[in-house]
């Protein structure tokens, strides 16, 4: 596993959880994850779940993607999706505010890998560079992704060659993130 990326993700998660503690005197909360089983759940009340990141308990790789498409995935992506179970976290990178995706449970990890496979198959069909999404923006047509060729983090328009490089690496990108509550 890419230890630098894992440490950068853990550091951002700590900043995010600390911001929740300072602002609301609680661990992060989510309405979207209410009722969805996860090892992260501390408590559920009304329509809200309170969560805390937990260690990842499965094999620390996304080999299902590699096997399905006969490719090698950037080590940083393996680390990104297998460092922890956690809820999605709102973040800001420079002027971009987005949702940093995480895996909530073992079932969610399998679903994320399936979605990444589907994303890569579509890109291959459209003859686009292979990218693997790590974040979503307000627009349904734009995502934050890791370029599987260069290792750069990009903001891309789905189905188009349009992309903007945000950072030279996933580690550098995660280190610059600011929590958004």
Strand 142-147 with 153-157, pairing: antiparallel
Whether the pLDDT of residue 129 is over 80: the answer is yes
Q: What is the mean pLDDT of residues 67-88?
A: 96
Q: Please tell me the predicted confidence (pLDDT) of residue 1.
A: 63
Q: What is the pLDDT of residues 2-21, one digit of tens each?
A: 999 999 999 999 999 999 99
- List residues bridging with 92 in a β-sheet: 97, 178
Q: Please tell me the predicted confidence (pLDDT) of residue 162.
A: 85
Task: Look at the chain and report how many structural domains it folds into.
Answer: 1
Mean of all residue pLDDT scores within the chain: 96
Compute the half-sphere exposure of residue 29: CA atoms within 13 Å on the CB side of its CA: 14
Compute the half-sphere exposure of residue 164: CA atoms within 13 Å on the CB side of its CA: 7
Report the percent of the chain where pLDDT is more than 70.
99
Domain housing 138 = 3-179
Query: Residue 124: which CATH number?
Result: 3.40.1580.20
Nearest partner of 146 among 138, 157, 159, 135, judged by Cα: 135
Contact indicator for 3, 79 with CB cutoff of 8 Å: yes
Its pTM surpasses 0.75: yes
As a whole number of angstroms, the distance between CA 119 and CA 65 comes to 11
């Amino acid at each position: 596993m890419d230890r630098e990326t894992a440490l950068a993700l853990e550091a951002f998660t700590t900043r995010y959880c600390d911001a929740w503690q300072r602002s609301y005197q609680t661990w992060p909360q989510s309405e979207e994850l209410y009722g969805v089983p996860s090892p992260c759940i501390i408590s559920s009340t009304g329509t809200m779940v309170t969560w805390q990141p937990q260690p990842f308990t499965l094999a620390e790789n996304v080999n299902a993607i590699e096997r399905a498409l006969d490719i090698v995935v950037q080590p940083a992506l393996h680390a990104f999706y297998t460092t922890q179970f956690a809820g999605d976290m709102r973040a800001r990178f420079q002027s971009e505010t987005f949702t940093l995706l995480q895996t909530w449970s073992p079932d969610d990890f399998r679903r994320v890998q399936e979605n990444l496979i589907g994303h890569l198959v579509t890109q291959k069909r459209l003859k686009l560079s292979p990218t693997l999404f790590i974040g979503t923006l307000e627009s349904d047509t734009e995502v934050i992704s890791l370029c599987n060729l260069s290792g750069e983090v990009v903001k891309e328009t789905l189905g188009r060659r349009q992309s903007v490089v945000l950072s030279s690496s996933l580690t550098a990108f995660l280190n610059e993130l600011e929590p958004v509550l």
